[in-house]
């Protein structure tokens, strides 16, 4: 694996339904509202077909480190309500797979994110700072887990 390649697997467990989780995570423009610690701006550029395949989203994101990322993704597969797959380009290049599995009143959420960091700062310094860049990603995903719990509580109130 090249120094600027990253493989992250995230697991969350939420009291919800696959349908609800799919609706929340599949509504990209709303990410900046309920996950503001990471998503600064999100714009849907293309809507894709009737299943959302081909949808293109433009993102401006951050972590706790003092830099931001600009990237886009395209939905390449929709398994509604059990997840979707995407391809990313820009400051990140690679792919992500969201999978939602119902387990009684709970949903097991898995995200498999395989990327190359292409932002010059990240690409150049990954050989040295990969553990710090990885910690930044893990922080962002913990923020997402907390934010999703809050969004589900808001929806259920």
CATH of the domain at 90: 3.30.530.20
> Rounded to whole angstroms, how far apart are CA atoms 34 and 146?
10
Number of domains the chain is built from: 1
| Whole-angstrom Cα Rg for the chain | 15
Q: Could you list the residue range(s) of the whole structural domain that residue 21 is in?
A: 5-156
> pLDDT tens digit string along 90-121?
999 999 999 999 999 999 999 999 999 999 99
pLDDT tens digits for range 7-22: 999 999 999 999 999 9
What is the token pair recorded at 141? Answer: 């995903």
CB of 120 closer than 8 Å to CB of 111: no
Q: At 1, is the pLDDT very low, low, confident or very high (cuts 50, 70, 90)? A: confident
């Amino acid at each position: 694996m090249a120094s600027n390649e990253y493989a992250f697997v995230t697991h969350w467990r939420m009291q919800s339904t696959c349908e609800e989780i799919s609706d929340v995570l599949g509504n990209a423009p709303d990410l900046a509202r309920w996950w503001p610690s990471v998503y600064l701006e999100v714009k849907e550029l293309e809507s894709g077909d009737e299943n959302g395949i081909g949808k293109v989203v433009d993102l401006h994101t951050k972590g706790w480190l003092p830099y931001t990322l600009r990237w886009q993704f395209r939905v390449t597969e929709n398994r509604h309500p059990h997840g979707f797959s995407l391809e990313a380009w820009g400051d990140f290049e690679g792919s992500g797979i969201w999978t939602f599995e119902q387990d009684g009143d709970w949903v097991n959420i898995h995200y498999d994110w395989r990327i190359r960091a292409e932002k010059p700062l990240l690409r150049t310094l990954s050989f040295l700072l990969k553990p710090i860049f990885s910690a930044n990603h893990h922080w962002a995903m913990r923020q997402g887990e907390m934010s999703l719990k809050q969004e589900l509580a808001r929806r259920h109130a």
